[in-house]
Chain A
Amino acid sequence: ELKVEQNPLFLSMQEGKNYTIYCNYSTTSDRLYWYRQDPGKSLESLFVLLSNGAVKQEGRLMASLDTKARLSTLHITAAVHDLSATYFCAVVRLRTYKYIFGTGTRLKVLA
């Protein structure tokens, strides 16, 4: 069964610092997504990664995918307080169309 592990679970960082969140998955998948969730809110789609070597960037966030290693990373550059949220990765196999989510990384950016 497809499993997704995400680390770290919690991340407290200073503004201006860089950090990376890791997402490992156990078997092949067809899509990998990154979502952001603010407290009490829904999931906001950040990136969808479709193929090996895919890299996408939006502002201070950059996501990449290595399908051979079954690893995706979400890199945060020069963090700002507004990035404080919980970040989830999710993989999906089109055959089942079931999203399997990672445990989430709760990010807190300290001013």
Chain B
Amino acid sequence: KAGVTQTPRYLIKTRGQQVTLSCSPISGHRSVSWYQQTPGQGLQFLFEYFSETQRNKGNFPGRFSGRQFSNSRSEMNVSTLELGDSALYLCASSLDRGAKNTEAFFGQGTRLTVV
């Protein structure tokens, strides 16, 4: 069974550009969450999507957005990149939001470097 797949694995972008990251969840999983990991702030929740709807959002500026498609694949977009956006972006998928199926499985992440 394939795990959570994130593409690309590495990205280098220039300040002011925008970037789109992709996440394919485990087959059958309907919930996708995104996290940002930096040395200074640790792992921080960005947002969660379930059945194509954003269900929860973390404390990030509006430059960070996402969406989920009917096949549960998700993308996140960061516009007007800043140096501080350099981070490892992790995607996690889980079966659904029910009490017995909340365990999240994480992808390998996308390492974004903003120069």
- Nearest CB of A to B84, in Å: 18
A-B contact count (CB 8 A): 53
CB distance B90 to A94 under 8 Å? no
**A99-B45 Cα distance, complex, nearest whole Å:** 7
Choose from B4, B42, B97, B108 the contact partner of A101 (Cβ within 8 Å).
B42
Q: How large is the interface on B (under 10, 10 to 19, 20 to 34, 35 or more residues)?
A: 20 to 34
Choose from A35, A42, A98 the contact partner of B45 (Cβ within 8 Å).
A98
CB distance A97 to B31 under 8 Å? yes
CB distance A42 to B90 under 8 Å? yes
Q: A-side binding surface: helix, strand, loop or mixed?
A: strand
Given known contacts A42-B90, A42-B109, A45-B105, is B42 in contact with A98 (CB within 8 Å)? Answer: no
CB distance A97 to B48 under 8 Å? yes
Task: Give A48's nearest chain B residue, CB to CB.
Answer: B103
Could you say which residues of chain A place their CB within 8 Å of the CB of B35? 99, 101
- Within 8 Å of chain B (Cβ to Cβ): is A20? no
Given known contacts A42-B108, A48-B103, is B56 in contact with A97 (CB within 8 Å)? Answer: yes
- Within 8 Å of chain B (Cβ to Cβ): is A7? no
- Within 8 Å of chain A (Cβ to Cβ): is B20? no
CB distance B48 to A88 under 8 Å? no
- Nearest CB of B to A30, in Å: 8
Given known contacts A96-B56, A98-B58, A99-B35, is B106 in contact with A43 (CB within 8 Å)? Answer: yes
Q: Mark B104-115, 1 if CB is under 8 A from A, else 0.
A: 111111000000
Given known contacts A94-B97, A94-B102, A97-B56, is B42 in contact with A103 (CB within 8 Å)? Answer: yes
- Within 8 Å of chain A (Cβ to Cβ): is B2? no
Task: Give A50's nearest chain B residue, CB to CB.
Answer: B99
**A41-B4 Cα distance, complex, nearest whole Å:** 13
Choose from B45, B102, B109 the contact partner of A100 (Cβ within 8 Å).
B45
Chain A interface (Cβ within 8 Å of chain B)?
30-31, 33, 35, 41-45, 48, 88, 90, 92, 94, 96-104
Chain B interface (Cβ within 8 Å of chain A)?
4, 31, 33, 35, 42-45, 48, 55-56, 58, 90, 92, 97, 99, 102-109
The 5 closest A-B pairs by CB, nearest first: A101-B43, A43-B106, A42-B106, A42-B108, A98-B45
